Amino acid sequence: MIRLASSSITRAKLLHKAGIEFIQESVDFDEDSIIATDPKNFVYQATLGKYEANLKAFGYDDFPLLVADTVVTAKNQILRKAKCLDDARNILMTQSGSITSIITCMIYQSKKEKIIDISKTDYIFDKFDLDDLDRYLSSGEWRGKAGACMVEGFCQTYIKDVHGNESTAMGLNIEVLEKFI
């Protein structure tokens, strides 16, 4: 049994699918306080901040602690979580017809070991259909998603090629985690 220190439904689904027992609870960390232009540095700082906040709140004596964060980049821009509909549209249009990299960092801490992993998955997207994009934006499913992106949802039909693990793009490199649990 581990403690997933994340409110992500997708991360919970990945753990469940992998057969990893977990409880899900977390404390917040203000990612807006991070100043970083390099995507790997940003995602590491965000994950480290979440780790320190959740370590203070829960420790890892009763259950190993797992925290993660994801950042999306395209055209040399860090595409954060959209703050409004127009922001989501702009973020998604940046990814349309381009290479989008999804970088996930996780920290796993148990009594025996501490693992830090940064993994990247690249997606090459076709241009998004604007009517389809409007339907996705209207659904609100983009809310709370790094880069307003859902490779397991809206973006899936536009994928031309993938380099890396799908689980990384979904917010947790389950293939790496399974080796240590």
In total, the chain counts a number of residues equal to 181
Catalytic residues: 69
Q: Report how far residue 172's alpha carbon sits from residue 5's, in angstroms, rounded to the nearest whole number.
A: 12
- Give me the percent of the chain exceeding a pLDDT of 90: 83
The number of beta carbons lying within 10 Å of the beta carbon of residue 24 is 16
Q: Report how far residue 154's alpha carbon sits from residue 147's, in angstroms, rounded to the nearest whole number.
A: 12
Assess if CATH 1.20.1740.10 describes domain 2-178.
Answer: no
Q: For 72-112, how does the pLDDT look when each residue is reduced to its tens digit (9 = 90+)? A: 999 989 998 899 999 999 999 999 999 999 999 999 999 99
Residue ranges in 31-173 assigned as alpha helix (H) = 39-58, 85-95, 130-139, 166-169
Model confidence at 66: pLDDT above 90:
yes
Q: Where are the domains of the chain?
A: 2-178
Q: Report how far residue 145's alpha carbon sits from residue 160's, in angstroms, rounded to the nearest whole number.
A: 21
Q: For 27-58, how does the pLDDT look when each residue is reduced to its tens digit (9 = 90+)? A: 989 887 888 889 999 999 999 999 999 999 99
What is the reported pTM?
Answer: 0.87
Helix (H, G, I), strand (E, B) or coil at 172: coil
Check residue 130 and give its pLDDT.
97
The residue among 96, 134, 104, 3 whose CA lies nearest residue 57 is 3
Which residues does 36 contact at the CB level (< 8 Å), separation at least 6? 42, 45, 78
